[in-house]
Structure 1
Amino acid sequence: MKKKLISLTLLAAMLFSLAACSSGNAGSQNDSRSQQESDGGKSGNSDVLKVTVAAQPTSGQVFQFIAEEHGFNKEEGVEVEMAWLSNLSDAASALTAGQVDIISTYGTGGPLIQIANGQDFNSFAGYMIIGETPVYGKPETEWTSLDSFKGKKIGITRGGTPDIVLKGILYDEGYSYTYGGTTVIGDPDDPDMIEFVEYKKNTDVLQAVMKGEVDFGATATGYQIQARDLGLEVKMWPDEYWPNHSCCRMLCTNTYLEKNEEVLYRLLRSYLRAEEYMQDHMDEVVDLVVENLDLTRETAESFVLSPHMKYDTDPYTNSVRTMWEKMADYGYLTEGDIKIDDHMNSDIYKRALESLIEEYPDSQFFKDKMAQFESNNA
């Protein structure tokens, strides 16, 4: 299976056909849900429901690769079209316009900003709960603790997971920092003020560290090899300070969720089965990432096999809520009258998981996932 690139131009051309497909599926999905429930929730649907999922080409969609390779999507009666879009702005625009049905690998903080700005998005499942998002520096740059950031400059891409998580960690620990050139969090007269410097691309962040424009730089997943080739090294892992901070979520619009619950249910059953499979087949997962994303094996291994990368389908609504509250605290969003609970759904995931436990009663993995779900979704 080769990577299929879909540009926004092509997506625009697909708009009417996708919209027609979505509206045509809505009624059939409700009918097929009733049929599936009457069959005891077993997989092997005779009908096929279509869905388009947008993801970044740098980190991929491993559950999709596994589900396609091993026939889980086919058995669950769901046909997935992947749209490879490189940034949240394009993905969010495509989701709002109905050009894609789901966005998957665009972090949590960015989509929360979209929600705060009025987008009716809904976080209904996960892709990863922590991502491989290290802070880099030159070998000679000292790092011993968070105090090593005092008085230093940190390069980031605004709104990305590394940016939001680092700011959340420093906020909780009482450090003073400035971002955007004017916004100051903490004591404005702090002589050890930390300065966040914003760049458009992760590669720009790495170049800035190498050139000495900043002391440290944090990037998204998949840049370790590039950083190493520039002579940089990992100085700090944010997930060690903020475990399960919430990285990539799967989102659709509330309107789509209300009309297409069945396709989401089938997709989550398929992806949960893929997640179970991958536990003992990580080398194969690397192979699939290399094949589907045209990455080198070294690059794929650097993040797929990283202990700081945790793939997880769980909605983790508690973690999403925590990030929402932190971002409001340090000025990244204004909640207004928006309630984040109106933009999260864990019921479909729970139903998918319950059906798998019933269908595969000997699977300890699915039982463990239910215990995890109950802990992470209040």
Structure 2
Amino acid sequence: MKKRVVSILLVAAMAVSMVACGSKKDDSTDNKTEETKKVTVDDVTKDSDTPETTDVVWAQGLSGNVLVTIAQEKGYFKEVGLNIKEVPLDSGQLQGVVDGQVDIASNSGTNGPLQMIAAGDDMAIIGGFMLEGCMPIIAKAGTVWNGPTDFVGKKVGSSATVYAICSKIHEAGYDVNKDVQWVPFDNDADKIAAVLNGELDYAVMGTGRMYMCKNTDGIEILAYCDDVTPNYSCCRMVARNSWVKENPTTVKLIDQALLRAQQYLEANREECEEIMAKQLNTDLDYVKAYMDETEHYELNVDTVKKTVVDNWHYQREVGLIDADLDDSVIEDVTYDKLYKAALDACIDKYHDDDPDFWDKQEALYEELQ
């Protein structure tokens, strides 16, 4: 009898053990299933609202990114579950992105990112900042300006990569690599002195030097880059492509917060100038020097894919990137779908608060994609 009881207990113990093992296997399978449910770029819709990562490091350029500042100040990032940390970094922003020093940069133009993408660097375009960046073309006071072909045969503080200017010189039949004497400068401020002493005939300046350009005797602003090429895509917002693929909902939510900031800026420009001056720890006059130029300083979060691809064509045609590179190389890393998901989410939630603004953004998307 005792042996029978022991046998029954052993069988019961084995049964429990097998059930336990089975349960463990099921748990493992469930966990594996959860792991395979990772969100991809194609999965993201206007309703996607759970960021893959909440902490994002952003490179802060010399002139800042007023949209980031507003989104911080007004709590738009927090509302979508994001914590943005800005790190002062002006020159070297793009390399900082590739190296992982920062996650996002938005003050380094469009030309540079395209060249790095063409070279095979881990980089993608996820949105925009300045559509038109208030970038002045300067010369000595009294210089006559007829257009960008005035650069032909002259010494110019810039480079052939500046699509807004150089694409028009190229279209006029000139060789931008030979017919203009481009003079590189590490610091935009040094270009002003070079123009004054005759070392340069012209210079193309960055947004952050507007105050100097306006307040330096003997210097004249002849035109702006957007006078030559409207909507030229001054600065696109970039991140590592691998990071985007890991965090597509985070990217969508960033665009969503920035779109709200853009709407707030256009409705409250003077307040936003004061916010920006405080953020940069600089005089209000410095910020107003570019932000008050509303015809030339236009911000937009859109990827403006059409303009980006046009720039890609220009750089390919003049030998700045490999002529054999297909459009798909740039199109595949320009995430207009994530931006559109963000725009659709904002239109659903906020359209009635400012119909003109949101209708304009929708129309621009259709025009520039």
User: Is TM more than 0.5 here?
Assistant: yes
Decide which of 234, 251, 267 is 2:254's aligned counterpart.
267
Structure 1 residues 157-196: aligned runs within 5 Å? 158=159, 163-178=162-177, 184=178, 193-196=179-182
> Which amino acid in the other structure matches residue 317 of structure 1?
K
Structure 1 residues 1-378: aligned runs within 5 Å? 41=47, 49-56=54-61, 58-87=62-91, 90-146=92-148, 148-156=150-158, 158=159, 163-178=162-177, 184=178, 193-227=179-213, 228-306=215-293, 307-337=295-325, 339-362=329-352, 363-364=354-355, 365-377=357-369
Q: State the SS of the aligned residue for 1:233.
A: strand
1:42-82, Cα deviation, whole Å (9 max, x unpaired): 97x799811111131x2111111111111111111111011
- Residues 159, 294 of structure 1: CA spacing in aligned structure 2 closer, same or farther, 3 A cutoff? farther
- Residues 146, 74 of structure 1: CA spacing in aligned structure 2 closer, same or farther, 3 A cutoff? closer
Q: State the SS of the aligned residue for 2:143.
A: coil
Q: State the SS of the aligned residue for 1:83.
A: strand
My pick for the range that moved more, 169-178 or 143-152, is 143-152
- Whether contact under 8 Å (2:255, 2:342) holds in the other structure is yes
- Matched pairs, number: 327
- Residues 146, 113 of structure 1: CA spacing in aligned structure 2 closer, same or farther, 3 A cutoff? closer
Aligned to 1:9: none
TM-score normalised to the size of structure 1?
Answer: 0.79
> Which amino acid in the other structure matches residue 371 of structure 1?
A
User: Which 4+ stretches in 1 moved above 3 angstroms?
Assistant: 40-43, 45-48, 144-151, 175-178, 335-338
Counterpart Cα distance in 2 of 1:60 and 1:196: 27
- Whether contact under 8 Å (1:42, 1:359) holds in the other structure is no
1:270-309, Cα deviation, whole Å (9 max, x unpaired): 1111111111111011111110112221111111121211
TM-superposed CA distance for 1:262, in Å, is 1.6
- Whether contact under 8 Å (2:252, 2:338) holds in the other structure is yes
TM-score normalised to the size of structure 2?
Answer: 0.81
TM-superposed CA distance for 1:322, in Å, is 0.5
TM-superposed CA distance for 1:245, in Å, is 1.1
- Residues 79, 331 of structure 1: CA spacing in aligned structure 2 closer, same or farther, 3 A cutoff? same
- Whether contact under 8 Å (1:55, 1:84) holds in the other structure is yes
Q: State the SS of the aligned residue for 2:273.
A: helix
Counterpart Cα distance in 1 of 2:323 and 2:124: 16
Counterpart Cα distance in 1 of 2:199 and 2:67: 38
1:303-344, Cα deviation, whole Å (9 max, x unpaired): 112121111001100000001111111222225445211221
- Residues 152, 107 of structure 1: CA spacing in aligned structure 2 closer, same or farther, 3 A cutoff? same
- Residues 109, 159 of structure 1: CA spacing in aligned structure 2 closer, same or farther, 3 A cutoff? farther
Gaps of at least 5 residues in structure 1 are: 1-25, 179-183, 185-192
| Structure number with larger C-alpha Rg | 2
Aligned to 1:8: none
Counterpart Cα distance in 2 of 1:266 and 1:123: 15
